[in-house]
A and B are shown apart, each in its own frame.
Chain A
Amino acid sequence: MMSHLPALQVVVPLLSAPICVLLGRGRFAYGFTLAISWVAFVISGLLLQAVVQGGAISYQLGGWAPPWGIELRVDLVNAYVLLIVSAIGALVMTYAKPSVDREIGAEQEYLFYTGYLLCLAGLLGVTITGDAFNIFVFFEVSSLASYMLISLGPNRRALTASFNYLIFGTIGATFFLIGVGLLYQMTGTLNIADLAERVAPLTGTRTVQAAFVFMVVGLALKAALFPLHAWLPNSYAYAPSVVTIFLAATATKVSIYVLIRTIFTIFGVEFSFGTMSLGPLLFILAIAAMLLGSTVAIFQDDIKRMLAWSSVAQIGYMVLGLAFATVNGVAGGILHLFNHALIKAALFMAMGCVFYRMGSVRIEAMAGIGKRMPWTTAAFVAGGLALIGVPLTTGFVSKWYLLLASVESGMWWIALFILISSLLAIIYVWRVVEAAYFMPSPDGAPEGEAPLLMLIPTWVLIIANVYFGMDTRVSVGVAVDAAKALLGGGS
Chain B
Amino acid sequence: MTIDQLPPGLILILGAVLVPFLRGNVRAIYMLLLPALCGWQVWHLTPGEYGVVSLFDYTLVALRVDKLSLVFAYVFTLAAFLAVIYSLHVRDVVQQVAGLGYAGAAICAVFAGDLITLFVFWELTAITSVFLVWATRTERSFRSGMRYLVVQVGSGVLLLSGALVIVNQTGSLTFGHIGIDSIGGQLILLSFGIKAAFPLLNNWLQDAYPEATVTGTVFLSAFTTKLAIYALARGFAGTDMLIWIGAIMAVFPLFYAAIENDLRRALAYILNHQLGFMVVGVGIGTELALNGVAAHAFAHVLYEGMMFMVLGAVLYRAGTAQGSVLGGLYKSMPWTTVFWIVGAASIAGVPLFIGFTTKSMILTAASLEGHWIAWTALVFASVGVFFLAGIKIPYTAFFGPASGKQVREAPVNMWLAMALSSVLCIWIGIDPSRLYAVLPFPVDYVPYTGAHVINQLQLLAFTALGAVILFRCGVYPKSEPGQNLDSDWVYRRLLPAAAHGLVDSLAQARDEVWRWRDRVFDFILERVFHYHGPRGIMARTWAISGAALWVMVLLGGYLLVYYL
What residues make up the interface of A, taking CB atoms closer than 8 Å to B? Answer: 164, 167-168, 171, 175, 206, 209-210, 213-214, 216-217, 220-221, 227-228, 230-231, 233-234, 276-277, 281, 292, 295-296, 298-301, 309, 390-392, 397, 400, 403-404, 407-408, 415, 419, 422-423, 426, 470, 472, 476
Contact = CB atoms under 8 A, between A and B. Distances in A.
Q: Ordered nearest first, which 9 A-B pairs have the shortest CB separation?
A: A230-B547, A230-B542, A407-B168, A295-B532, A296-B539, A227-B550, A217-B555, A299-B533, A296-B532
A299 B551 contact: no
A214 B555 contact: yes
A408 B160 CA distance: 15
Interface string B418-430: 0000000000000
Contacts of A233: 539, 541
Nearest to A285: B554
A231 B554 CA distance: 16
B548 A168 contact: yes
B547 A168 contact: yes
A407 B56 contact: no
Interface in B29-81: 55-56
B533 A228 contact: no
A192 to B, nearest CB: 23
Given A217-B558, A299-B539, A419-B161, A392 B120 contact: yes
A295 B538 contact: yes
A175 B555 contact: yes
Contact of B164 (A167, A292, A390, A415): A415
Contact of B157 (A217, A234, A309, A423): A423
Nearest to A292: B538
Contacts of A309: 539
Interface size class, chain B: 35 or more
Given A171-B548, A213-B562, A419-B161, A234 B554 contact: no
B202 to A, nearest CB: 21
B559 interface: yes
Nearest to A210: B559
Contact of B532 (A175, A220, A298, A419): A298
A425 to B, nearest CB: 12
Given A209-B562, A217-B554, 15 more contacts: A168-B551, A213-B559, A213-B562, A230-B541, A230-B542, A230-B544, A231-B547, A292-B532, A299-B529, A299-B533, A390-B123, A407-B165, A419-B161, A426-B153, A472-B56
Interface string B149-174: 00001100100110011011000000
A100 B140 CA distance: 45
B551 A228 contact: yes
B528 interface: yes
A299 B534 contact: yes
B562 A391 contact: no
Contacts of A231: 547
A164 B536 CA distance: 20
Nearest to B559: A213
Contact of B558 (A281, A296, A301): A281
B116 interface: yes
A419 B157 CA distance: 7
Nearest to B534: A299
B192 interface: no
A300 B534 contact: yes
A2 B305 CA distance: 70
Contacts of A298: 532
Instruction: Provide the main secondary structure of the chain B interface.
Output: helix
B119 interface: yes
Contacts of B546: 230
A248 B200 CA distance: 44
Contacts of B533: 299
A300 B533 CA distance: 7
Nearest to A399: B160
A70 to B, nearest CB: 29
A233 B160 CA distance: 32
Nearest to A214: B555
A400 B60 CA distance: 15
B554 A220 contact: yes
Contacts of B534: 299-301
Given A214-B555, A296-B538, A300-B534, A276 B550 contact: no
A466 to B, nearest CB: 13
21 contacts: A167-B548, A213-B562, A217-B558, A228-B547, A228-B551, A230-B544, A296-B539, A298-B532, A299-B529, A299-B533, A299-B539, A300-B534, A300-B539, A397-B56, A400-B56, A404-B164, A407-B164, A407-B168, A419-B160, A426-B153, A470-B55
Interface in B509-540: 528-529, 532-534, 536, 538-539
B154 to A, nearest CB: 8
Given A296-B539, A407-B165, A228 B558 contact: no
Given A391-B116, A415-B164, A423-B157, A276 B554 contact: no
A296 B542 CA distance: 14
Contacts of B56: 397, 400, 472, 476
B153 A472 contact: no
Given A230-B542, A391-B116, A403-B164, A171 B532 contact: no
Nearest to A390: B123
A164 B551 contact: no
Interface string B134-149: 0000000000000000
B55 A299 contact: no
Contacts of B123: 390
B528 A295 contact: yes
Contacts of B541: 164, 230, 233-234
Contact of B555 (A209, A213, A300, A476): A213
A401 to B, nearest CB: 8
Interface string B101-134: 0000000000000001001100100000000000
Nearest to A392: B120
Contacts of B165: 407
B168 A171 contact: no
A167 B533 CA distance: 26
B551 A171 contact: yes
A281 B561 CA distance: 11
Contacts of B538: 292, 295-296
B152 to A, nearest CB: 12
B71 to A, nearest CB: 27
Nearest to B146: A430
Nearest to B168: A407
A359 B131 CA distance: 31
A228 B123 CA distance: 36
A36 to B, nearest CB: 35
Nearest to A161: B541
A217 B551 contact: yes
Contacts of B536: 296, 299
Contacts of B532: 292, 295-296, 298-299
A168 B549 CA distance: 11
Contact of B554 (A209, A228, A423, A472): A228
A415 B550 CA distance: 27
Nearest to B58: A400
B537 to A, nearest CB: 10
Interface in B351-393: none
Nearest to A230: B547
A295 to B, nearest CB: 5
A209 B563 CA distance: 9
Contacts of B562: 209, 213, 276-277
B332 to A, nearest CB: 37
A129 to B, nearest CB: 25
A228 B547 CA distance: 7
Name, among B120, B167, B528, B547, the residue most crowded by chain A CB atoms within 10 Å (CB to CB). B547
A391 B551 contact: no
Interface in B387-425: none
Name, among A213, A234, A476, the residue most crowded by chain B CB atoms within 10 Å (CB to CB). A213
Contacts of A214: 555
B542 A391 contact: no
Contacts of B542: 230
